[in-house]
Chain A
Amino acid sequence: MDGDFFSFERLVAYFPKILSKFPVSLYVVAVSTALALALGTVLAIIRIRKIPVLHQLAVVYISFVRGTPILIHLFLVYYGLPLLFNALFGYNIASGWNKLIFVFLAYGINEAGFLAEHIRAAILSVSRGQTEAGHMVGLTGFQTFRRIVLPQAFRVLVPGLSAMVVGMLPATALAYLLGVTDMMGMITTISYSSQHSLEGYADAAIIFIAASFILEKLSAMLIKKLSYGRKSVDEAT
Chain B
Amino acid sequence: MNIQPVLIWEAFKSAVSYIPITLLITSAVVVIGLFFGVLVAAVRTYRIPVLSHLADGFVIAFKAIPINLILVVSSLLFVTHFNGIASFLHLTVTIRDVSRIYVGIFALSFPAIAQMSEFIRGSLLSVDRGQYEAGYTVGLTFWQTFRRIVLPQMMLVFVPSLTGIVIALMKATSLVILIGVVDVMNGALKYANLYFSYFEAYLAAALVYWGLSLCIELLGKALEKRIGRYRGSAA
Contact = CB atoms under 8 A, between A and B. Distances in A.
Interface string A169-205: 1111110000000001000000000000110010011
Contact of A72 (B172, B174, B212): B174
A174 to B, nearest CB: 6
A72 B175 CA distance: 10
Given A83-B3, A213-B60, A184 B69 contact: yes
B64 A212 contact: yes
A86 B222 CA distance: 45
Interface in A136-185: 167, 169-174, 184
A51 B69 CA distance: 42
B152 to A, nearest CB: 20
A229 interface: no
Contact of B210 (A63, A76, A171, A205): A63
Contact of B66 (A5, A75, A76, A170): A170
Contacts of A69: 171-172, 174-175, 185, 209
Given A64-B210, A70-B171, A79 B202 contact: yes
Chain B: number of interface residues, binned into ranges: 35 or more
A198 B171 CA distance: 26
Interface in B79-107: 80, 84
Interface string B11-23: 0000000000000
10 contacts: A67-B214, A69-B171, A69-B174, A71-B175, A75-B198, A76-B199, A173-B68, A197-B76, A201-B69, A208-B69
Interface of A: 2, 5, 63-64, 66-72, 75-76, 79-80, 83, 86-87, 167, 169-174, 184, 197-198, 201, 204-205, 208-209, 211-213
Interface of B: 1-3, 60-61, 63-69, 72-73, 76-77, 80, 84, 167, 171-172, 174-175, 177, 185, 198-199, 202-203, 205-206, 209-210, 212-214, 217
